[in-house]
Chain A
Amino acid sequence: MRKSYLSRIRNAYVLAILAMLNLTAFAQDRRVTGKVTDASNNGVPGVTVLVKGTQVGANTDGSGNYAINVPGNQNRLVFSFVGFKSQEGEIGNRSVLDIQLDEDISTLNEIVVTGYTSERKKDIIGSVSVIDTKSTLQQPSSNIGNMLQGRASGVTVSGTGAPGAAAKVRIRGFTSFGNNDPLYIIDGVPTDNANALNPQDIASIQVLKDPVSASIYGSRAANGVIVVTTKQGGSKTEISYDGYYGIQTTPNRSYPSMMNTQEYYTYLQRAAEGAGIPFNSNVFGKGIPKYLVTNSNFNANPGDATNPNFDRYNYDPYSYDNTYQIAETSAGTDWFREITQPAPVQSHQVTATGGGDKGNYALGVNYFGSDGVFKETNFNRVTVRANTRFKPTKWLTVGENLQLAFSRSSGSSGNPFDQGGGLDFSGESSPWYNAYRVPPFIPVRDINGNFAGTSLGEAGSNNTAPVSLARGRDNKFNGMNLFGNIFAQIQLAQGLLLSSSFGIDQRFGNGYNFTFITPEKAEPTRNNNYSEYFFRGGSWTWTNSLQYSKDINEKHNLKLFAATESIFEQFRSISGSRADYDFNDPDFRSLNTGKNLPQNGGSPSTPRTLYSIFGKAEYQYNDRYLFSATLRRDASSVFGPENRVGVFPALGVGWRLSEENFLKGVTAINDLKLRAGWGQLGSQRNVGSANAYSFYGASLTSTAYDLNGTNGLPVIGYRPSVIGNPNTKWEAAEMVNIGLDGSLWGGRLDFSVEYFNNQTKDLLVTRQPNGLEPSVGQPRINVGTMVNKGIDAQLTTRGKITKDLTYDIGMTFTHYKNEAVKIDAEGASALLFGAGRLGNIQRVEGGQPLASFWGWVVDGTFQTQAEVDAHASQSYKRVGSWKLRDISGPDGKPDGVINGDDQTYIGNPIPKFQIGTDISLKYKAFDFQTFLFWNYGNDLYNYTKWATHLRGFVGGYNTEVLTDSWTPQNTSASLPILNANDTFSGSISTSYYVEKGSFLRARQMQLGYTIPANVLNKIGMSRARVYVQGQNIFTITKYSGPDPDIGILGNELQMGVDQFRTPSPRTIILGVNIGI
């Protein structure tokens, strides 16, 4: 059942009061006992039993049994429990009254945590997506972010296939130019990074999307809030095991079609021919050689790769000069398949829950392990959770929620706590990129089984990807995350509750990294190096609150809430490195054992603090008109004293139409509610903790100069590190939200449609230094306005087709439009960004969607010399080359010259809509569930083509280079004529890179079988289910890159660019759920 500790406390409190009343019952009471069961005849614990028309009540024990003293003049009992329809029973003359409850498929009465408080789902007037955790948790994933894709309307998620990597989550687009990660509230403790949370511990997830629901979190809520509660103990004692084991593989469609050696040879010849120059090659001068000498150092004639001296073969891992490698020429190494592997993934979770009136507990221990689809990489995590609470007296509840997570990744020393850290490779350090960078004629291993290399020349300068992975296997990161809170709640008077919670999010980490001598590489690393770091840090949050609720005449319902909160956050780290190790042995690696001078580094981060006072008032009249008002005042240390305080108000109204007389008669409508909200949310997360200050730094590596000509230690000077801006102020998102919620036909169809318009003012962006300024770190400044507007919709339908066949179908729809209305960054009216080695491919400017792609438009290729002559003047202009569109000139009109003025917007990374469809079917003991995700209408910038099609470097090339390059016969080709001297086509950003990013992906399909209760009872089990599941079963897309699901990866202003990330794997999983 989805409940928060708050709601449970309240229930417990209510029960306590009921129990008190019980003691004072009349003497002539009669005692009634009985058992409450569900449809499968299992006892239901925790059911509230109330004598109708009185305050007399009790609740059922762990087996569903109850006992109650009924006043003599009463004759009816009311049984109610969340998730079941309330039912009345007549006592008559009986002293035993058993009852069977029917499941209530309507979710209107569910208690939902919406902030510091919780409320019934039907009373919510903010925009809150409640995640169906039952189905979501069936999709095994390493962290919460991955679980959310398509599950909630308005929530956009992109992820990669890296083991343990966090997914990127965006709520209703982008309200900010920097970090748009939502705020996570886990059991009341805020964190920016929920990656260490064990998803198996999650009891409920709510996504707060609008100001009415989120403004209670004030300055941190502009990107939306994801509220998570973890599993709590109930009154029923249970031990359960949930586990799965699966295999992840890279789907075939992710692999690019690369040239083999013969094709590569043809390509080289054609490129020379196209340039009008003779074909000349050290490697292929005499055709494809049988052998390659992958160090020409010792070879008498370096051009003659076919004639190795077998007697001299030597591979010396410590010396380029002693290495003489001989390799048999490969017919075509597919580097991508050489680095990937079927990777096991598994999770084992044991949970123990239990409790009673005086307290309860939930204990969980989980092991999650996943090998990477890249060889030699893996991620392991062990989490231990203990949630307990005690109720020593009627007015006091104390408790804690605590998770300890140990994580370890191998294959990278990066920090998996960070978004994108650890094994989530991207850019030029990615194995996927390195697989592009080595041509096909190099084999994986040489004639003696050592990794072959590229030092031959004409083979690029990179390590081959397999050897990089093999060498990185002992680079590790070990992290520990302690996350949780302790709390106390004091019932001051009826309806008045004082709470205090102290939460911590503390991280400790240690990583180490060894780089090898690379004798087989063209630009060999000649010295090895070891580095190691430690860090600790994190935040604490202390919240104190008072809440009061009052019902007057059952018509007026008033809830008041007020609180203060202090947050403190800081990190410290130290690092060291040393070069020159005599042995590569992993056991030898330490900062002590190197021979060169050690270096050290490390620094404290400037602490950031936040102090807030906030309150909320809610009022309901007659269950029909709902009002809420929130006000939060935040003071943040990141701003100068003048701009430190931000005040964020929000107002919400709701009108339950279904309670009005004109609809009351319509039986099909159970609930219909119109709601509207307005509010302001702030943001300061993108502001560095020392933003207000200008300061100078000093270091031997960046501010020194050998002024005395010593050739020893230089003199250290002072250089401005950052220009401060004391005038930076809160970024304020003003949001309007209008929604209509409905529940029809007894909950068989629930829907929710919302319109939102979020306008962010005083956008914070890193100041772009003017082109004439020094290159100094820049502060965040307030520069402009951005608008996100769109529609979210959610539709759920459930019911029965036959007696045994039930269905539950959920659909979410997300559409938003993003536009930067005004950009006036002091230094610039537009912001330009590049990717990898290609400059200025994205631009942010007023009137355009965020991060729009920017470049020249390719209008096909020149077919004839006459066409060449007629066209505007441009660089590299010849028959078969790209014809760039003449768009503008100095006067804003086409001017017959192709230059910088002719760049334009060539694509939009923001999708037109996203739809998630979740279908669950149940037939007797079988259940089937599938989740489809459709992303439509965005463009992607396929930067991988720079490596494979435009050939920015020597490396493996796509076969399209041969089939899709212009020739007099192939006149409709999209690539220009092959020309060994054409470095122009690969040095400009063009429309050639831009592709449609739409895709439909079967994220998940699952078939489960639950063993019937009667069988289980015989062997002492309460629950047992087995399932088989496939993830990422198929993807329909026209995108030619490895994975279209990269839309929002990367920096906000640089999203939608394919940066060689790990493509999502396909996973087949076998799992069991067992309860005892």
Chain B
Amino acid sequence: MKKHIKTALVAFVLLTSLTVACKDAFLDRPPLGAIAETSLTNPNGVNGALIVAYRGLSGGSIGAWYTSANNWLWGGIRSDDSYKGSEALDQATEINPVERFEVLPNGPSVTNKWRAIYDGIGMANIVLRLAGRTPDLGEANKTRVVAEARFLRGFQHFEAKRNFNNVPFVDETIQTTEEYKALKNDQSIWPQVEADLKFAYDNLPGTQTAVGRVNKWAAGAYYAKALLYQNKFSEAKAVFDQAIANGTTSRGQKYALVPEFKNVFRGEEENGREIVFGIQYTVGDGTGGANSNKEGELPNPHNDGPGGCCGFYQPSQTLVNAYQVDANGLPLLNTFNSTNVRSHESSPTNFPDRGRLDPRLDYSVGRVGVPYKDFGPARATWIRQLANGGPWLPNKMIQWRDEIGTYYIAGGWGQTQLGKNQILMRYADLLLMAAECEVEVGSLEKAREYVNLIRNRAAGSTVVKMQDGTSAADYKVAPYSGAWTDKNVARTAVRFERFIELAQEGHRFYDLVRWGIADTQMSEFLARESRTRTSLAGATFRKGKDEYLPIPEFVVVQSRVNNVANIKQNPGY
């Protein structure tokens, strides 16, 4: 009996252990809670990949600020229209060196911006690869998907080009490490950027099923913008002309200027007729802000101010001065900076300045003592550190009180989450770029017509009123009535209009660079403003270097093949 028990036990142990050994199933463990790429080669899968490529515009996958195409740091704080604001040491590593032109190749914000751009490119390339392997897509659908993805890829490369200049183009055929490492940055990528944007322009419909999808006209506008960056004015003009004549939003609404200037930035217009392209954000999804405009949170005014956050991105004195007008309501093109608009800082007992000003000022900049949207007069407490950031507050992208709950909700660490879309290009921007082309090809009157469209809208808009019902300043804005005959004057006027109409919308620094005046403009700005904004003291702009950001260190290091880096660092870094 004993023997039998023993034998049975031995047999059981040996048999069961061998059974486990023989089963491959014990060792095959595919991932749980995920899906394989092969499962995505169907229309739903391709569309899902395309959604993520759109998400790339927000820089969200990097999980860091200053990564989206919003560019309030790279186009705004780096330029003469804004300061960092906030406190001297807040985000000091990320922003201060950028503002002071002391940024290094290992700077965290530079690195994140780069990663966001090339992540967006990668996501677009996945769509292109999947589309090629998905016969079910149908020819028409496939063309549209490919065109949208190529637009996004072109858009991201455009971002790379204007921020980092010497960058490689990554297309959908690049997949292996060797292929990536072989890419160089010694050739301009403008031809490929143009090709992507043009393909989208040529192949996309004017009306899209989802408002967030790019359409023919937005693609065209970016194609023309890319041409403009290369000073191909007549080619750009041809596309702008088409967009102005026939362009519509993705909903099929004809492009137009919203009658009220301030309404451009309201939630109900976030996909309105003035919007050519933007990033779609939302806070109504229960995720605690995962799909909100995260980096848009930082510019919210401080303390009890709207959004109650961090107080970054304060307008510069130079910008505010640019809204001074003459008796005819025209800007002081060459002398605007000879007098300062008064503030509660420069003039504690006599503010706000109620002199002659363009009414767009008080919808673009917050001034202490002047009614701010529907919050009543802006208060000094909204400014985080006056000595550091100066007396002015950002305005355009900040919430209205009546938008709280729909477009803005309280965030987790003190900020407000923003669900309103980020405008990337609006019709006024398109018109002003077209005007630039007109000036350069010599049709100055056409340029004046475009500029006057914008100035007339400003003139026809309501103005900010004090609580006693009087206008907050001696507002004046009028169209250029006299014909433009001098190309230089016309150029100055168009550029100036761009400065004040598109203030704090992330364009300024790129404009200065493509106009070739970044060094003179920024040197003058630093010299002038560092006297009051002491955080700029000692900063200098070096021509030939500071127009572009350094290539992040890790990119150069990882491009090395046999100890030779295929990606070369930008000059001066």
Contact = CB atoms under 8 A, between A and B. Distances in A.
Interface of A: 272, 275-278, 280-282, 295-297, 299, 302-303, 320-321, 393, 395-396, 455, 457-458, 461, 488, 490, 492, 498, 500, 515, 518, 521, 523-527, 529, 542, 544, 564, 566, 568, 577, 579, 596-597, 599, 603-609, 611, 613, 635-638, 641, 644, 689-690, 693-698, 700-721, 768, 770-776, 826-830, 832, 834, 837-840, 875-876, 878, 899-900, 951-954, 980-981, 983-984, 986-989
Contact of A828 (B28, B60, B558): B558
Given A606-B32, A828-B557, A980-B88, A613 B21 contact: yes
A604 B33 CA distance: 7
Nearest to A979: B538
Nearest to A899: B573
B569 A529 contact: no
Contact of B55 (A500, A596, A717, A980): A717
B280 A709 contact: yes
Nearest to A774: B122
A429 B462 CA distance: 49
Nearest to A607: B29
B271 interface: yes
B13 interface: yes
Contacts of A980: 88, 534-535
Contacts of A577: 288
Given A275-B537, A500-B13, A707-B210, 14 more contacts: A299-B381, A461-B87, A693-B30, A702-B61, A706-B281, A706-B291, A708-B210, A710-B282, A717-B52, A770-B180, A772-B118, A773-B122, A828-B554, A899-B105
Contacts of B97: 983-984, 987
Given A498-B13, A523-B309, A705-B55, A774 B290 contact: no
Interface in B302-350: 302-304, 308-310
Interface in B529-562: 534-539, 550, 552-560
Nearest to A841: B106
B284 A521 contact: no
5 contacts: A690-B30, A706-B281, A707-B210, A711-B267, A771-B556
A527 B114 contact: no
B559 A690 contact: no
Contacts of B114: 771
Nearest to A301: B380
Contacts of A714: 280, 282, 285, 291
Contacts of B60: 702
A313 to B, nearest CB: 17
B428 interface: no
B63 to A, nearest CB: 9
A302 B210 CA distance: 48
**Taking each of B29, B119, B308, B535, which has the highest tally of chain A beta carbons within 10 Å of its own beta carbon?**
B29
B470 interface: no
A952 B92 contact: yes
Contact of A527 (B2, B32, B52, B411): B411
Contacts of B385: 282, 457-458
A616 to B, nearest CB: 17
B24 to A, nearest CB: 8
Given A637-B28, A719-B61, A524 B308 contact: yes
Nearest to A500: B13
A703 B55 contact: yes
Contacts of B406: 711
B269 to A, nearest CB: 12
B517 interface: no
B212 interface: yes
Contact of B210 (A566, A613, A709): A709
Interface in B8-39: 9-10, 13-14, 17-18, 20-21, 26-37
B390 to A, nearest CB: 12
Contacts of B181: 770, 827
The 10 A-B residue pairs with the shortest CB-CB distance, nearest first, are A774-B122, A717-B51, A771-B555, A277-B534, A690-B31, A523-B414, A701-B290, A826-B177, A718-B48, A695-B34
B365 interface: no
A295 B304 CA distance: 10
Interface in B421-451: 421
B557 A693 contact: no
Contact of B170 (A568, A772, A951): A772
B89 A953 contact: yes
Q: Which of A709, A720, A953, A986 has the most CB of B within 10 A?
A: A709
A705 B280 contact: yes
Interface string B51-71: 110110010111000000000
Contact of A716 (B51, B170, B267): B51
A355 B97 CA distance: 74
Given A275-B538, A526-B308, A839 B108 contact: yes
B339 to A, nearest CB: 22
Contacts of B10: 490, 492, 498
Interface string B156-173: 000000000000101000
B573 to A, nearest CB: 6
A353 B513 CA distance: 83
Given A277-B537, A771-B118, A986 B93 contact: yes
Contacts of A635: 27
B538 A981 contact: yes
B258 interface: no
Contacts of A521: 414
A771 B288 contact: no
Nearest to A691: B31
B387 to A, nearest CB: 4
B216 interface: no
B277 interface: no
A611 B286 CA distance: 44
B410 A527 contact: yes
A171 to B, nearest CB: 28
Contact of B284 (A303, A498, A712): A712
B411 A282 contact: no
Nearest to A838: B93
A718 B560 contact: no
Contacts of B386: 282, 303
Contacts of A713: 282, 284-285
Nearest to B286: A597
- Residue among B37, B52, B181 facing the most chain A CB atoms (10 A cut-off): B52
Given A518-B414, A876-B102, A599 B287 contact: yes
A715 B280 CA distance: 11
A696 B35 contact: yes
Contact of A983 (B96, B123, B412, B573): B96
Contacts of A705: 51-52, 54-55, 58, 212, 280, 291
B212 A603 contact: no
A162 B543 CA distance: 53
Contacts of A830: 557
Interface in B105-126: 105-108, 111, 114-115, 118-123, 126
A641 B30 CA distance: 12
A834 B106 CA distance: 10
Contacts of B9: 488, 490
A834 B111 CA distance: 12
A712 B405 CA distance: 12
B104 interface: yes
A362 to B, nearest CB: 26
A698 B291 contact: no
A697 B34 contact: yes
| Most interface-central of A278, A689, A717 (chain B CB within 10 A) | A717
B90 A953 contact: yes
Contacts of A771: 114-115, 118, 552, 554-556, 558-559, 567
Contacts of A296: 303, 381
A47 B6 CA distance: 31
A1023 B89 CA distance: 63
Contacts of B283: 711
Given A705-B51, A705-B54, A717-B50, A774 B211 contact: no
